Amino acid sequence: MSLYEVNDGVAIITLDRPPLNTQGLPLRRHLDDALRATGSDSNVVAIVITGAGRCFSGGGDITEFNLPAGAEEPQAPALFARLEASPKPVVAAIHGMALGGGLELALACHARVAHASTQVGLPEVNLGLLPGAGGTQRLPRLVGVETALNLILKGTVSSAAALADSGLFDRVTEGSVLEEAITLARSLAADVAENHTLRRTSALACHMDNAQAFIAFARSTLKTPAGGPTAAQACLDCIEAAVCLPFAEGMAVESERFRGLATSSQFAGLRHAFLAERAAANVLDLPDGTSAREIKRAAVIGGGTMGSGIAITLANARLAVLLIEREQAALDRAFKTIREYYEQSVQRGKLSSDTAAARIALISGATDYAGIAEADLVIEAVFEDLEVKREVFERLDAVAKPGAILASNTSMLDLDLIAAFTRRPQDVIGLHFFSPAPVMKLLEVVRGAKTAPDVLVSALALAKKIGKTAVVAGVCEGFIGNRMIEAYLMQAGLLLDEGALPHQVDLAMEQWGMAMGPFRMSDMAGNDVGAKIRAARIERDASRVYSGVSDLITAMGRYGQKAGRGWYDYPPGARKPSPSPEVQSTVVAHSAQLGLQRRHISDEEIVDRLVLALVNEGFKLLEEGIAQRASDIDVVYTAGYGFPRWRGGPMLYAEQRGLADVIAALSRFSVGPVYQHAEHFWRPAPLLVRLAESGQSLAQFNLKETP
């Protein structure tokens, strides 16, 4: 394509790097060449920068980090500075989105025109970075310190319409952005011809009454994680510099803080998590050209907490949903839950009352299966019992129309057995939602041995439509997430036998970065539910070893949050759980009954045993092909199990730590109380040993194994 085209004296430079016009080296060079050419073209009196396709620019190219292209000239900060210094007016014509570096490019222009629906933001903080091309210095000068701080610190995305009066845009339109921008560019060129000064963002004053006190208050609200200072703290430093220092000095602060973050472990983890989520959507062995089946109407079998949540999730994506329960009373309870959810959403300002009413209207109810004949997708969300699921799927097989997708929300049962209850196993798939379904981002898509390719593609398309992060798993007990969490919870219980207490274990894991420790998690899920799962697993495999204290706690009626007492006490009105003296005495007594001398257990040992239990099981899953790549396992844990996103996931953690060191730690833990069979539990996964001995990375393993 040509560098630019001239429209009656206005040069139109188009950013053209599909699909999001990210500012990788080719686009930066194109923009640089075009700016230099238009600057020397006597036929050009003004410049408009626009984006090809569906957006202005999605920002920098994160895949260039740590590659030579990322360090090659022109770099964005210097490029944008040259743009801003142009003696000819430059106007940004913004549509679709202008995120990160895309918005920073627009900030450096002399004026900005945006379509009202355009999505704008500086989300770098979500990747452990800060806007590194002048965003922290230019944005406060245009919109003020408070608005800039909220946009940069929270990393949120807003519509241009919502920011129309902020000072960010010169014009916000419902019409043609390009035409408006060209008109404005000609007007600015006429002003320049009459010796008017161009409005350069860097030259604007940045002030706010009591700005430093405001920033100090914002700083006091930030928490420092185990990994050290956060990107949010660095963003505050830069915004403070914008207020207190000249523009050039503020840019120097921004550059210094950016370089520090770009080499941090937090950025490495967050970047890995971001790229891993992208990769998870790519299923390696699907036939080319496989199309998704159309899904317009859905049905959900079971109106409990999970079933109601799934129905809400589907309705939020504007799908018609039929919710089925056995009895009217159960159906009434389900709809009460649904109405309460939407009422709370309205009260919190998340939805308008009209939108909430429209979504409730999408959900209908029934106590029979007749309406299922119209459904394109049926999701079973009944009790986790194979015989119960047999009954449901046999009935579905009889009434569902040909080509309907039959999905199970099972969290651990054999999907191939469930599929065998039908005469159409090719139409059966697992859709393992996480509770609360409308909130949790992860969706484990379980691919059965006979699941048809187009059913799998349909499931992935559905996940995208309902805003979930999908990870494809093979069939085994617990799939990826719950199979790994079993090993984690087993070690948590055995640590109690040896000398730890529940609140110590939880605190150690939470300080390390987990969203919630194992015992708080168990209380939330229900200790009675955990007891049933353990009993079923022991029935299938008597060699499994759990701490007996878990069953003692359950036998005492300490079922968790729902009972007001579990591993912790939950006093009415209290915001936090309280360690329970009754539980502590039960733990100590159980150790004595086992004949164990309780010992001091360090937080370091707690973290190592729990995290490496996940890691070792993850390597087994990878070798068995249950997960198609190591990064998929990381996505499951960062998106669904509260693993600290800035650590990237358990598999990245293992690789960064060093696989030889991981094996050495497993060896240390293999000596323990006889009843625990520690030597067997901590035996390193064969794949872990092979990679450690060969020096091969997990990424290299995946490349080698890819067909």
The answer to whether the beta carbons of residues 3 and 29 sit under 8 Å apart is no
pLDDT at 214: 80
* Comparison of pLDDT for 241 and 542, the residue scoring more: 241
- CA dihedral in degrees (199, 201, 202, 207; nearest 10)? 110
Q: What is the mean pLDDT of residues 255-268?
A: 92
CA distance 301 to 378: 7
The answer to whether the beta carbons of residues 142 and 160 sit under 8 Å apart is no
* Comparison of pLDDT for 646 and 210, the residue scoring more: 646
In three-state form (DSSP H/G/I as H, E/B as E, the rest C), the secondary structure along 158-186 is: EECCCCCCCCCCCEEECCCHHHHHHHHHH
Give the ranges where 281-405 is alpha helix by DSSP (H).
Answer: 305-316, 328-347, 353-361, 386-399
Reading the block at residue 12, the tokens are 């139109």
The SS3 of residue 458 is helix
Residue 2 in this model has a pLDDT that exceeds 70 = no
Lowest mean pLDDT among 117-131, 208-222, 674-688: 208-222
pLDDT at 706: 46
Q: Give how far the C-alpha of residue 99 lies from the chain's centroid of Cα atoms, to the nearest Å.
A: 18
The answer to whether the beta carbons of residues 484 and 621 sit under 8 Å apart is yes
Q: What is the mean pLDDT of residues 260-265?
A: 90
Edge-first strand listing for the sheet containing 111-115: 5-7, 10-15, 46-51, 90-94, 111-115, 171-173
Domain with CATH 3.40.50.720 in the chain: 297-473
Q: What is the mean pLDDT of residues 109-116?
A: 98
The answer to whether the beta carbons of residues 12 and 178 sit under 8 Å apart is yes
pLDDT at 699: 80
Q: Which CATH architecture has domain 297-473?
A: 3-Layer(aba) Sandwich (3.40)
Lowest mean pLDDT among 62-71, 271-280, 462-471, 621-630: 62-71
Domain with CATH 3.90.226.10 in the chain: 5-262
pLDDT at 217: 83
CA distance 393 to 378: 10
**pLDDT tens by residue, 291-311:** 999 999 999 999 999 999 999
pLDDT at 229: 61
User: Is the peptide bond prior to 246 cis by the omega test (within 30 degrees of 0)?
Assistant: no
Q: Which CATH architecture has domain 481-705?
A: Orthogonal Bundle (1.10)
pLDDT at 574: 79
The answer to whether the beta carbons of residues 453 and 286 sit under 8 Å apart is yes
**pLDDT tens by residue, 609-646:** 999 999 999 999 999 999 999 999 999 999 999 999 99
pLDDT at 626: 96
The answer to whether the beta carbons of residues 397 and 422 sit under 8 Å apart is yes
Q: Which residues of 679-692 are buried (b: 16+ CB within 10 A; e: fewer)?
A: eebbebbebbbebb
CATH of 5-262 among 3.40.50.300, 2.60.40.1220, 3.90.226.10, 3.40.190.10: 3.90.226.10
pLDDT at 301: 97
Domain with CATH 1.10.1040.50 in the chain: 481-705
Residue 449 in this model has a pLDDT that exceeds 50 = yes
Residue 129 in this model has a pLDDT that exceeds 50 = yes
Q: Phi, psi (5° rounding) for residue 92?
A: -90, 125
104 is catalytic: yes
* Comparison of pLDDT for 69 and 251, the residue scoring more: 251
pLDDT at 429: 98
pLDDT at 707: 41
Nearest to 661 by CA among 625, 699, 611: 611
pLDDT at 230: 83
Average pLDDT over all residues of the chain: 93
* Comparison of pLDDT for 149 and 378, the residue scoring more: 378
Q: Phi, psi (5° rounding) for residue 115?
A: -70, 145
Among 5, 84, 104, 705, which one carries the catalytic annotation? 104
Nearest to 675 by CA among 416, 506, 497: 497
Residue 227 in this model has a pLDDT that exceeds 70 = no
The SS3 of residue 120 is strand
pLDDT at 460: 97
pLDDT at 704: 55
Q: Please give the share of the chain, as a percent, with pLDDT higher than 90.
A: 85
Give the ranges where 221-264 is alpha helix by DSSP (H).
Answer: 231-244, 247-262
**Which amino acid, one-letter code, is at 696?**
Q
**pLDDT tens by residue, 654-704:** 999 999 999 999 999 999 999 999 999 999 999 999 999 999 888 888 765
pLDDT at 225: 63
Q: What is the mean pLDDT of residues 537-554?
A: 90
Residue 10 half-sphere exposure, CB side, CA atoms within 13 Å?
Answer: 24
Nearest to 637 by CA among 662, 654, 659: 654
